[in-house]
Structure 1
Amino acid sequence: MDNGGLASALAAARDALSARGLKHAATFACELYAGLPSVLHERVHASPPAREAIRSTDGVLELARSYFDVSEYARAAHILEAKRGALSSVEFFLLQYARYLAGERRKEAMSTEMKVVAETTKLTAPSPPKPVNPYLRQLQEDLSTADENGQLDAFGLYLYAIVVKQIAGLAPGATSDHVQRLLWRSLQWFPWNWSAWLELAQAVQLDTASPFDVNELSATCPWMVDLFQVHVLLEQNHGSQALEVLLPLRKQFPTCQYLLAQTAAAQYHLQDFDQAHESFLALTKADPYRVDQMDLYSNVLYVKEDKSGLSSLAQHLQHVDKYRPETCCVIGNYYSLKGQHERAILYFTRALTLDPQCLSAWTLIGHEYIELRNTAAAIEVYRRAIDINAKDYRAWYGLGQAYEILELIHYSVYYYQKAAAIRPYDARMWCALGGCYEKLPTPQPGHAKMCYQRAIGNKDAECIAVYRLGRLFQKENNTEKAAEFYQLYWRDRGLTVVDSPEAASAVLFLAQYFKEKRLYTTATEWCNRLLDRQGPERDEAKAMLQTMRNLEFTPFS
């Protein structure tokens, strides 16, 4: 398919998705279409692509769609049901989808009522079963019959997959061959439905055996396959691979804001916070009322300790839409950076009230509980995060921290191992795991060294691993190796003054090491670096300098 064909296909997909009320997928198609070079838009306008018949002669479809657009789903379903014997494929889908959404609304209403009753009566009895969509069974029966009769199109198969998934009670991330098969068939017929791709992403992981190969669709729709792969790679924190796939996509869709947002997310996952900051700045300039992924932007500002930037972002999003989970997470991050952890927890909890599946909110609440040393609460919320997404390294890492605070080091080792397996290129995971190997009742310095070497190989920006390797060799009286790593620590951090207890310890060791080697000039240089620091290290450095003077050594000047 050439660029002109791509533009025409996206224009047709946009109309087909909009006609069926698939708003999120239609919006995504519109974003892709708008991201194409303007010359392609002109070609589509000059030669409109052929479109399916999405109008009815009796006006029933238009009336049902108008009810659907104002969220009167039960009315939309009712008016279509009265015409059930002569429904077009669009009408059949809209009927079933309206019934599904009407049931989802009833489920939410029942859930709210149960919460109110529980809070007002202070129930101590076991929690009642979760409300379910009352129309699921009937939907399954109707869609199954239509599928057996060969009457389901790509959109009907997508809805059928959603219904089957809910009935099976599958948690996000769980797999079901039946669901995968339905989604696969749907995408083979109509690959432009981004909502179907997102559902498939929850069931299929790139590193997990699957009966289907999404690359089989590359011949007919390579762009959607690439977009799907970027999404899954970012879900699995493979930022560098995601950027490789994004590069040609951004050339194909040069002004697509979604792709810019994904680029910023990949840079964030790679801890390239300066580049991520630049990308998010460009995104907010081009799309100032965007809320999606602004919680990631707030994480970048948090790491950079940019209080004014985080404050501005929080205030802006509160004016745009204060009832979005992302907005609540941004505000929570702002209060966390200010050290107001209880208030931060309040906003993260609001995010979960709006979206109980908001993974960022669960992990951020856990971090706040860690700051407050409320390890029991932290463990609980981290476990909830893992229930939502078992590949969230932040939750595994948080559990490791919590059990380390409780001095249950064997548990910490297990959870840090999980985090390192998910994110093996992150030096922080290896430093944490190595530290726990040192703290075990029977320390395992060999394993600790291997972890620190892995950290060094993965850009240990803070040089924690280099220092700890020096300390381990010092404990083993391997002074040559200890001196080597302590000098690397000083060099790699680019230090000119002693700015931490670790630096003081390393410098004092190096002064003693070179003194014992009778390299008094070098030893004096290291001693002099400790003279401006308060503490016992300065006293030891002074004593060492005096000893060298008594040996009639003239200090280096």
Structure 2
Amino acid sequence: MALAAASSAGAGGRSPLGGALVLQLLHTLGEGVRHLAMYRCQEAIDAFVQLPASHYATGWVQCQVGRAHFEMVEYAEAERAFQWARRVCPHRLEGMEVYSTVLWHLKKEADLSFLAKETIAHDRHSPEAWCAMGNCFSLQREHEAAIRFFQRALQLRPGFTYAHTLCGHEYFTNEDYDKGLTCYRGAIRIDARHYNAWYGLGAIYLRQEKYDLAEHHFRRALNINPRSSVLHCYLGMAIHRNGRHGEALKQLCDGIALDPKNALAKFQKANVLMAVERYHDALAELEALKAQAPREASLYFLMGKIYKRLEQPDRAMVHFSLALDLKPSSSDANAIKAAIEKLSLPDDEPADDAIDEPADDAEDYAPAYY
């Protein structure tokens, strides 16, 4: 290796070339860490790629690359980086809490279960291992067990910010909002730049219909991580609920520009377009979204409501029926049935009375982003 050769050159003295190479290596690593700390994730990846192959292939660097892809919601790429890290450093525990969240998003139950068991077997006193175990049970919808495992991680390391946030997400899923707020606030007390917890607070306030508070906390999160498509989307949802449709539309468009695959942002954009009576634009957005989420009941339900407003009851009925055929949740099914019963009545409901979110994606970001 060039660095080793340079450092061994000049017996009895220091090699100027070796010192320069060390400084260059540290500079490149520092640039990657700096960009990642500021959530400039693509720049971080570009910096790490410039490392010599032997350094790029280390477990630590691959975990940083994996985290950068994770922050950009590129879960498949993140998984590959973490797999590489585990191949070169099988007993590495640092970063496994993020890797387990990547597997949670990819819904890879077997891989996540294997990771959790292997990390626990390696070190039962590792908080990262207990976070992996918590994510494993969260994916199986055993939220009480997941909470116990995240709390075990906090017993081992009370200052583990991400464990506080993961615990908060489980309380959020269980609709125990007071405890969720406590967890998120605990994370922020440890690290005020932990945008995931600011997001969690905003998500709870949005669910509680405290839209001003939700908007405030989403803005705090976005100030820390301005390149997050998800944060732009949720801020747009809060602004929309506060009645500022034009501003909401801008936030949602910004989110889609950052991540064209963000189905929730596209759905919410259609919701806002419906609210401002741009029905044909909303339908065009939903038609395009059908290719990405063809089995999403809420998409067809919203299309049905738009066709009703366009005074096309036959097409509305077709889409309501399609929504029911996709077996939505019981609450969504009741909303669809109520809309069918009112199909012949004047539409005097607020324009944003549709199902707010695609059911499959409604909480999909919570445990990871989050």
TM-score by length of 2: 0.78
- Cα offsets for 1:252-271 (capped at 9, x unmatched): 63532322222212111111
Q: CA deviation at 1:273?
A: 0.3
Q: Distance in 1 between matches of 2:20 and 2:224?
A: 28
Q: Distance in 2 between matches of 1:311 and 1:392?
A: 27
Letter of the 2:222 partner, please give it: A
SS in 2 for 1:378: helix
- Residue 100 of structure 1 corresponds to none
- State whether residues 164 and 186 of structure 2, in contact with CA within 8 Å, keep that contact through their aligned partners in structure 1: yes
- Residue 300 of structure 2 corresponds to 503
Q: Distance in 2 between matches of 1:376 and 1:301?
A: 28
Q: CA deviation at 1:513?
A: 4.4
Letter of the 1:453 partner, please give it: C
- State whether residues 427 and 455 of structure 1, in contact with CA within 8 Å, keep that contact through their aligned partners in structure 2: yes
- Cα offsets for 1:232-252 (capped at 9, x unmatched): 322332211101101111536
Question: Is the aligned partner of 1:485 residue 2:291?
Answer: no
Runs of 4 or more consecutive aligned structure 1 residues displaced over 3 Å after TM superposition: 47-52, 217-220, 495-498, 510-516, 526-540
Q: Distance in 2 between matches of 1:223 and 1:475?
A: 54
- Residue 155 of structure 1 corresponds to none
Q: CA deviation at 1:383?
A: 1.9
- Cα offsets for 1:26-45 (capped at 9, x unmatched): xxxxxxxxxxxxxxxxxx5x
Question: Is the aligned partner of 1:413 residue 2:215?
Answer: yes
Q: Distance in 2 between matches of 1:51 and 1:342?
A: 62
1:177-256 paired onto structure 2 within 5 Å:
221-251=23-53, 253-256=55-58
Question: Is the aligned partner of 1:339 residue 2:141?
Answer: yes
TM-score by length of 1: 0.53
1:111-510 paired onto structure 2 within 5 Å:
221-251=23-53, 253-440=55-242, 443-478=243-278, 482-494=279-291, 497=294, 499-507=296-304, 509-510=306-307
What RMSD over aligned residues (CA atoms) do the two structures have, in Å?
3.2
Letter of the 1:456 partner, please give it: I
Q: CA deviation at 1:460?
A: 4.9
- Cα offsets for 1:257-308 (capped at 9, x unmatched): 3222222121111111011112222222332222121111101011111111
Query: Could you say if the C-alpha distance between residues 471 and 381 of structure 1 is closer, same or farther in structure 2, counting changes exceeding 3 Å?
Result: closer
- Structure 1: 5+ residue stretches without partners: 11-43, 53-191, 193-216, 517-522, 544-557
- State whether residues 532 and 538 of structure 1, in contact with CA within 8 Å, keep that contact through their aligned partners in structure 2: no
Percent identity of the aligned residues? 22
- Structure 2: 5+ residue stretches without partners: 325-335, 345-370
Using the TM superposition, name which of 236-245 and 500-509 deviates more: 500-509
Q: Which has the higher contact order (CA 8 A, sep 6+)?
A: 2
Q: Distance in 1 between matches of 2:130 and 2:6?
A: 37
Q: CA deviation at 1:425?
A: 2.1
- State whether residues 218 and 225 of structure 1, in contact with CA within 8 Å, keep that contact through their aligned partners in structure 2: no
SS in 2 for 1:339: coil
Query: Could you say if the C-alpha distance between residues 429 and 220 of structure 1 is closer, same or farther in structure 2, counting changes exceeding 3 Å?
Result: same
Q: CA deviation at 1:508?
A: 5.1
Query: Could you say if the C-alpha distance between residues 513 and 266 of structure 1 is closer, same or farther in structure 2, counting changes exceeding 3 Å?
Result: same
Q: CA deviation at 1:314?
A: 0.7
Q: Distance in 1 between matches of 2:131 and 2:6?
A: 37
Q: Distance in 1 between matches of 2:88 and 2:153?
A: 26
- Cα offsets for 1:139-164 (capped at 9, x unmatched): xxxxxxxxxxxxxxxxxxxxxxxxxx
- Cα offsets for 1:514-541 (capped at 9, x unmatched): 959xxxxxx86x875555443549959x
Q: CA deviation at 1:218?
A: 7.9
- State whether residues 445 and 472 of structure 1, in contact with CA within 8 Å, keep that contact through their aligned partners in structure 2: yes
- State whether residues 508 and 527 of structure 1, in contact with CA within 8 Å, keep that contact through their aligned partners in structure 2: no
Q: CA deviation at 1:324?
A: 0.9
